[in-house]
Amino acid sequence: MSKTPYINVPRFAFMTWLAIRDHLFFACRYTYTLWIEVIGMLLGRPPDPDLERTLVHLTTHGFDRLIYILLRLTFQTTIYMIWRERNDRKHLKKSRQVTQLAKLIGKTVRNRISSVEYSEKPRLPGLMQLWFSTHTYALVIFASHVHNYSFHR
């Protein structure tokens, strides 16, 4: 498995690269709450608002193959959608609530899983089921952790 959190979605990979290069952090309440909601229980522990620690965990922890694929796909999709949200707020003067953006990210991840690239690979059965199983009640479990961190503006 690759040691980078990239998946073969060019615009998502590019935005992830930019985010890592420019030190985009999950350390504001909006992005961290979004991260908690979209990552579900895939990490097996409460998410960290620090991007560096998140990257280290994503690249060094011995995740199951399907979980690792979902983590990378979710991470990239989230970074891309945060970037788009930032641009929408800056240029179009419109914003989404965390729950709206989380639903869009979830839909994007599910659409990608349903795509031919994933659905026709016999080594990836259960990817969609894993997505749903790790997102049932995840927000309830991890929501309390949002208040345990200091956030930067």
Please say if the pLDDT value at position 102 is more than 90: yes
pTM: 0.73
Distance CA 33, CA 37 (A): 6
**Nearest-5° Cα angle at 101, 98 to 106:** 120
How far apart are alpha carbons 90 and 113 in whole angstroms?
Answer: 31
Structure confidence at residue 133 (pLDDT): 86
Provide the residue ranges of all domains of the chain, joining segments of one domain with +: 10-148
Q: What are the pLDDT digits (tens) for 47-90? A: 777 777 877 887 888 888 889 889 888 988 988 898 888 889 88
Burial class (CB in 10 A: 0-12, 13-18, 19+), 148: exposed
